[in-house]
Amino acid sequence: MTRTPQPASTRPTVLFVCKSNRGKSQMAEALLRHAAGDAVEVYSAGTQPALGKSPNAEAVAALAEIGADMSGGTAAAVDHDVMRRANRVVVLGTAARLDPVDGMGAGIDVWDTDEPSERGIEGAERMALIRDDIDARVRRLWAELNDQATGSAD
């Protein structure tokens, strides 16, 4: 996808949230950075974060396979100021619950992401399926944000 550099003040802001902030939300953050570069201000957080813990090693490896990097992340809690600034707030999976905060300009989207473990799929195969599901959704989101920023129509 074409990257459209924008001044920091006009860049869209996206917050991805999951329960622990060690897997799905950090994957989404890294995948959006991979697709959009610095054209989007992107964050991830957890509703019950494993504060200070590194990302899930299998998730890191799955992203590295496609050239994205989340290895430097650490789990963080949801920041209400980021929620208020965000153009998009996306909860990944059904385990996390997130209520809106006063002053939010965006609604909260929920991506019911694939969970292959429910079908007995584990390990690297599981993480690759999760990565591919999230990557497809992130690319659609980036295309939409890019179209809005450039005034393009579908």
pLDDT in tens, the chain (154 residues): 333 444 445 799 999 999 999 999 999 999 999 999 999 999 999 999 988 888 999 999 999 999 999 999 899 999 999 999 999 999 999 899 999 999 999 999 999 988 899 999 999 999 999 999 999 999 999 999 988 766 655 4
Read off the amino acid at residue 148. Q
9 and 149 in contact (C-beta within 8 Å)?
no
16 and 28 in contact (C-beta within 8 Å)?
yes
90 domain-assigned? yes
Question: What is the residue range of 28's domain?
Answer: 8-147
Distance (Å, whole) CA 85 – CA 72: 24
pLDDT at 9: 53
92 domain-assigned? yes
Tell me if the pTM is above 0.85. yes
pLDDT at 149: 65
Distance (Å, whole) CA 87 – CA 130: 24
Number of domains, the chain: 1
3 domain-assigned? no
153 domain-assigned? no
75 and 50 in contact (C-beta within 8 Å)?
yes
Among the listed residues 33, 42, 35, the one whose alpha carbon sits nearest the alpha carbon of residue 12? 42
pLDDT at 2: 37
pLDDT at 150: 66
- Cα 51–chain centre separation: 18
26 domain-assigned? yes
Query: Residue 44 is part of a domain; what is its CATH number?
Result: 3.40.50.2300
